[in-house]
Copies of this chain bind each other. A is one copy, B any other.
Amino acid sequence: MTLPPLVQAFVLHFGEMGSRWGINRSVGQVYALLYLSPEPLNADQIVAALGVSRSNVSMALRELQAWNLVLLRHLPGDRRDHFTTPDDVWVILRTLAEERKKREIDPTLTVLRELLMQSPGSEDERHAQARIRAMHAMIEQLTGWYDEVKRLPNERLAALLRLGAGVTRLLETADRVVAFAKPARPAATTESQWTKESP
């Protein structure tokens, strides 16, 4: 089975990028193929299309399932598992974000929290803990934002993206409204309390 040049190029690119994205070449290629395929493919079709071993495809599919990046389809009258990707790219984006957060951020957040519980035994440790606290605070803020944003329906999310930095125009307006309502409030920035330890 030989792929159309366009598909071939896409598949190869995803294979190459795989290593940068934290997946291996086969996983990247299988995903790319499924994404472009007009209909669900079974494992043997993938083997034929990519020219890798059957077991390799099996492992790649497992990995993709662990990432929630492929869907299992059963065609009528066919025992074999067929696979597709979600066709809404926004769904794919959400999945990717969620899984990467789970793998790349959550473990660190846990460790940072643990380290912040310890009481520092030296001046250096005190300093280290302050640095860790700064990092922790930033990550918490980011994940908090993410947790809210991910609940938005697609159209809302898209609207937000289109608005881009323009949001700040709205923020300014809202700010002025607040300032008008409560003129006494002092302006505290998030990071100012941590930047006092400059070299």
Instruction: List residues of chain A with CB under 8 Å of any chain B CB.
Output: 4-7, 9-10, 13, 17, 20-22, 35-36, 38-40, 84, 87-90, 93, 103-104, 107-108, 111, 115, 118, 120-122, 124-125, 127-129, 131-132, 134-135, 137-138, 141-142, 144-145, 147-149, 151-152, 154-156, 158-168, 170-171, 174, 189-191, 194-195, 197-199
Contacts and interface: CB of A to CB of B under 8 A. Distances in A.
Q: Give the number of times this chain occurs in the complex, counting copies.
A: 2
B165 A149 contact: yes
A113 to B, nearest CB: 12
Contact of A190 (B156, B174, B199): B156
A168 B152 contact: yes
Contacts of A7: 124-125, 128
A156 B129 CA distance: 26
Contact of A125 (B4, B13, B163, B171): B4
B124 A145 contact: no
A152 B167 CA distance: 11
Contacts of A138: 89-90, 93
B191 A164 contact: no
Contacts of A147: 164
A42 B96 CA distance: 38
11 contacts: A6-B120, A7-B125, A90-B191, A93-B138, A145-B164, A152-B168, A159-B171, A163-B171, A164-B198, A170-B170, A170-B174
